[in-house]
Amino acid sequence: MIVTLIIGCEIGFWVLLAAGLALRYLARMPRAGAAVLLCEPLLEVVLLVVTAIDLRNGAEPDWKHGLAAVYLGFTATHGHYMVKWADGHAAHLLGKGPRPAKPPRYGTARTVHEWKMGARAIGAAAIAAALLQIAIWYVGGPEQTEPLRQWQTRMGLVAGISLIIALSYTIWPKQPKQPKQSEQPLEQGDPLGTGVRK
């Protein structure tokens, strides 16, 4: 049931997103569209409540409950980002706004972008780990909570990898490729590329 509910929440997220954007840009009802988009967090609340009830009713904690916590964590940190991304592209496609800027590719701007993305992933992992810890305290027995602790370990790995990626862009910032010698523009009056000017 938990896995089915997670899938339903993900489908519901995109359905509400599409409906909200359609109301905002096609039906020209921005307030109604915003109201629909604001309903999206209710999906996560439903998942959280159902998972808690399932554990309270004596369900054996397993990977499905851990997956629910992870889904909630990543939705909390990435949901708004996805809505903003989709809104910008919808506005552009329908002629209501400029083309959204692409993520920076090089230099300090790229480093800052990677830190922001890394912070989202680390935040998601932290929220998931906290929810998992609450479930561990709620359930109690060490043998019962082992699947949940395994998910906590995975979240630690996600946070560590995200931090390493962001640090790598700080230590070795990505730079644009320099043109090869053969790609250098020819000297004026040197059509054969001999290096001798006429």
Contact 114, 169 (CB under 8 A): yes
Task: Spell out the alpha helix ranges (H) of 63-180.
Answer: 63-93, 107-139, 142-171
> What confidence category does residue 183 fall into, taking pLDDT thresholds of 50, 70 and 90?
low
Q: What is the pLDDT of residues 73-114, one digit of tens each?
A: 999 999 999 999 999 999 999 888 898 889 999 999 999 999
Task: Spell out the alpha helix ranges (H) of 100-141.
Answer: 107-139
Token pair listed for 173 = 């910032």
Q: What is the pLDDT of residues 103-147, one digit of tens each?
A: 999 999 999 999 999 999 999 999 999 999 999 998 877 778 899
Contact 33, 24 (CB under 8 A): yes
The residue type of 29 is M
Phi first, then psi: give them for residue 168, nearest 5 degrees: -65, -35
The residue type of 42 is L
